Amino acid sequence: MIQLTYEQKSSVGLQYILDRLNPSSPYGQEKVRRLAPYTVDEKDKLLEELSNLEKLIAKKEDLKQEINHLRRIFMQMKDVRQAIKKAGEMCLNDIELFEMKNFLIACEQARSVYTFIKGQTGMTGLDYMDVEAALNILDPDGRRIPSFYIYEAYSEKLADIRIRKRELEKSMEIAAEETKKEYQEKRRLVVLEEEEEEQIIRERLTKELQPYLTAMAYNAENTGKLDLLLEKLTATYFGKTVKPIFTGEDMSTLQGGTKTSASFKLENVTNPWVASILKEKGLEFTPLSIELTMGATVITGANMGGKSIALKTIVLNVLLGMCGFYVYADDAEFPFFENIQMISEELQSVQQGLSSFGAEIVQMKNVIETVEKEFCFVVLDEFSRGTNPHEGAALVRAVTKYLNEKQVMALLVTHFDHVAEYGKAHYQVVGLKDMDENQVQYEIASAGTDKGVSVIASHMNYGLYRVENEGSCPRDAFRICRLLGLQDEVMKFLDE
């Protein structure tokens, strides 16, 4: 099971997308707050969700009016789940009956609109149960007005009591002063009689609603699912998207089983969160393409080269796919992972008094325990950076060799040399490989040294390319030092 913290969602850019969704109902809002990847047992539901999204996307322009209508209906809904639960055990009050009536009216309207949408798209698995009979209990006049009152139509006795009360009130208006107290006392007794009868009616209404509580709870859940699906449609407007394909057979075979041949490929994948940051700086996101195999794939690159950005982009889109979203790519296929394990400096905690390195090791122990039991996507961002380079590189090589022997797909970002040669595949960030150094020096001179980092960033190529038989990381650090004008008194010692 994949459990994500707020920090993890924020780190890769998933929270950026969720924060820009705007579900119309309280049920959809809760679905977004509690969003999590589908489990292995829910794989069929995930495939159905993606199929429904595909059908909705195909008809989104033709059904724009109906989709907006459905959203407006959802906006009128209150969360009645507590009232539904209470109705099975005790009497509802007027406010709860009022909100339940309004919910039932909205369900009736949503059912009509959604039935049309379903007929046009062929969507499956999402349906509203007919609760008209329950609505008729709370709306005996059939006026379908979003209000509630203990109507006289509920009881002849109540109608008679209220007639007597009105007659007494009329008599009080014209009665002599000495007889008003007598009428007031009579009215008080009638009011008590009215309140008693109203309570009897509330109890009867609650009891009459009980056979429909399961259907109402189902409709509330269905509203949340449908509201979330409409927001997944909205998310496709944040960038070019594609329906992910899940590869390989059932991945629930534990360690010791036959190695899977499932493929992992992302073509021109992007990250809307990072793209928005770059856009504010006048830059554009460079789409990435990568293929993974079973075992460990290593990404290397120069300082400022975007290795971690590449990792976040890949993880984001895998998570989106497993949550039932389209992914931001031209093409996307990957296995259905049982778990995703991430170790990143941004996600570490030293609250227990551990060093950064110590926290990483505790996390790695948990990763290994999970890898031994479940088919995982393991993501390591500059693992072991908190110790000396010699021991750190040795540890990362050991982890890489271990992961190669397990039923796992792993992606490691590292700045250590001679790690990539042990990976099943090696990618490098293009970085400054194709940079015209003279042109960049001219631009920095024109903009000013304090703008140097921004100028270099504008020339940085964050794309990935696959390399063979290369275990060393690119050497762009010295070039950056020169471009940013690090003093010659220091630079002259670099070659010694």
Tens-digit pLDDT profile for residues 260-272: 567 899 999 999 9
Handedness of CA 299, 301, 303, 307 (dihedral sign): negative
Instruction: Say if CB 108 and CB 131 are below 8 A apart.
Output: yes
Residue predicted with more confidence, 457 or 463? 463
Tens-digit pLDDT profile for residues 141-165: 888 998 888 988 888 999 999 999 9
Element (H, E) at 73: helix 64-75
Strand-pair partners of 341: 378
Segment 172-194 shows an average pLDDT of 85
3-state secondary structure 455-490: HHHHHCEEEEEECCCCCCCCCCHHHHHHHCCCCHHH
> Which regions of the chain carry the CATH code 3.40.50.300?
239-491
Tens-digit pLDDT profile for residues 87-144: 999 999 999 999 999 999 999 999 999 999 999 999 999 999 999 999 999 998 888 9
| C-alpha–C-alpha distance, residues 440 and 459, integer Å | 8
| C-alpha–C-alpha distance, residues 8 and 29, integer Å | 20
Would you state the structure tokens that stand for residue 347, as one six-digit string? 């996600």
267-280 burial, b at 16+ Cβ within 10 Å, e below that, comes to: ebbbbbbbbeebee
Segment 459-478 shows an average pLDDT of 70
Kindly report which listed range (70-74, 132-136, 177-181, 488-492) carries the lowest average pLDDT score: 488-492
Kindly report which listed range (82-86, 208-212, 367-371) carries the lowest average pLDDT score: 367-371
pLDDT category of residue 473 using cuts at 50, 70 and 90? low
**Whose CA is closest to 27, among 69, 61, 74?**
74
Helix, strand, or coil (residue 216): helix
| C-alpha–C-alpha distance, residues 413 and 290, integer Å | 13
Q: Give the type of residue at 118.
A: K
| C-alpha–C-alpha distance, residues 410 and 418, integer Å | 17
Query: Would you give the DSSP letter of residue 124?
Result: -
pTM attached to this predicted model: 0.86
Residue predicted with more confidence, 476 or 248? 248
Instruction: Say if CB 367 and CB 378 are below 8 A apart.
Output: yes
Tens-digit pLDDT profile for residues 423-451: 999 998 887 766 677 777 767 777 777 77
Side-chain-side CA neighbours of 292 within 13 Å: the count stands at 28
How confident is the model at residue 128, as a pLDDT? 96
- In this model, does residue 182 exceed pLDDT 60? yes
How confident is the model at residue 225, as a pLDDT? 98
**pLDDT cut 70: percent of the chain above it:** 88
Which residue blocks in 327-433 are alpha helix, DSSP H?
356-371, 389-404
Distance of CA 233 to the CA centre of its chain: 13
How confident is the model at residue 349, as a pLDDT? 43
Would you state the structure tokens that stand for residue 385, as one six-digit string? 């950076």
**Residue 127 buriedness (CB in 10 A; 0-12 / 13-18 / 19+):** middle
Segment 267-286 shows an average pLDDT of 90
Segment 364-370 shows an average pLDDT of 91
Kindly report which listed range (13-22, 295-304, 473-482) carries the lowest average pLDDT score: 473-482
Kindly report which listed range (17-31, 191-205, 383-397) carries the lowest average pLDDT score: 383-397
Helix, strand, or coil (residue 453): helix
Tens-digit pLDDT profile for residues 219-252: 999 999 999 999 999 999 999 999 999 987 555 4
Domain 239-491 superfamily per CATH: P-loop containing nucleotide triphosphate hydrolases (3.40.50.300)
Q: How many CB atoms lie within 10 A of CB 3?
A: 9
Tens-digit pLDDT profile for residues 413-426: 988 888 888 899 99
Helix, strand, or coil (residue 305): coil
> What rounded mean pLDDT belongs to the chain?
87
Residue predicted with more confidence, 2 or 311? 311
CATH 1.20.58.710 fits 6-151+207-234, yes or no: no
| C-alpha–C-alpha distance, residues 308 and 431, integer Å | 13
- In this model, does residue 387 exceed pLDDT 60? yes
| C-alpha–C-alpha distance, residues 180 and 312, integer Å | 80
**Residue 258 buriedness (CB in 10 A; 0-12 / 13-18 / 19+):** exposed
Which residue blocks in 297-430 are alpha helix, DSSP H?
307-322, 356-371, 389-404
How confident is the model at residue 475, as a pLDDT? 58
Segment 307-323 shows an average pLDDT of 93
How confident is the model at residue 255, as a pLDDT? 45
**Whose CA is closest to 183, among 197, 170, 196?**
170
What percent of the residues of the chain are helix, what percent strand, and what percent coil, each to the nearest 5? 55, 10, 35
| C-alpha–C-alpha distance, residues 204 and 22, integer Å | 38
Phi-psi sector, 24: left (phi>0), alpha (psi -120 to 50), beta: alpha
How confident is the model at residue 494, as a pLDDT? 66
Q: Give the type of residue at 210.
A: Q
Handedness of CA 368, 370, 374, 377 (dihedral sign): negative
Which residue blocks in 77-212 are alpha helix, DSSP H?
81-87, 94-121, 132-138, 156-174, 177-209
